Amino acid sequence: MKKYLVLLLALFMVFTLQNGVYADDDDHFVVDGFKIDENGEMWYKSLNEVVSTNDTITAAESGKIFLMSGSSHEEIVMTLPAAAAGLTYTFVSIQLDSQKYEINPNGADRLHYSTAAAGNRLVSVGGIGDSVTVYASDDTVWAVNPNVTFTVKSD
């Protein structure tokens, strides 16, 4: 029986470490932005990345918020990984000038938005606060949820 418990504990440790779970210096249980501290309290932190050049996104980055901050007037091209149900990414423009960004689906994947066909891509209009979230609804389709840019009025 003792052998089975030791084997079970060893397997648990292998799978836990393999998936990015660890205890930090303060004995907090941490998993990619989620942690349980020594008092049993749970904390969640969004994973963000500031992007200023073209990037190919990986499935491991699912859930990440990409803050688009280019310094030129050329579009920043973000290439999505192959669609797989459950993957999700958010893109937000934080640049003050007219920086645009482009979101390209992988291969024959399709964006489910307006009249988009296979091979089409999304291009922002270039305003600060422009944002869009894409969700892989299955293995070939990215559902698109764009957020509008608001106009600020002064009194």
pLDDT tens, N- to C-terminus, the chain (155 residues): 777 666 565 555 544 444 444 445 555 555 556 666 667 777 666 688 898 889 999 998 888 999 888 766 678 899 999 999 999 999 988 876 667 788 889 888 988 877 777 778 888 777 777 888 999 988 899 988 877 543 333 33
* Residues facing residue 143 across a β-bridge: 112, 135
Sheet containing strand 131-136, edge to edge, reads 48-51, 65-68, 88-93, 131-136, 141-147, 110-112
* Residues facing residue 84 across a β-bridge: none
pLDDT recorded at residue 12:
56
pLDDT recorded at residue 34:
65
- For residues 66 and 93, give the distance between their C-alpha atoms in angstroms, rounded to a whole number: 9
Kindly list the structural domains of the chain, giving each domain's residue range(s) and its CATH number in brackets, ordered by start. Answer: 2-43 (no CATH), 46-147 (2.60.120)
Q: Can you read off the two tokens belonging to residue 56?
A: 């190919």
- For residues 126 and 117, give the distance between their C-alpha atoms in angstroms, rounded to a whole number: 22
CB contact at 8 A, 53 and 25: no
pLDDT recorded at residue 18:
46
Rounded to two decimals, what is the model's pTM?
0.67
9 phi, psi to nearest 5 deg: -65, -40
Start-to-end C-alpha separation, the chain: 75
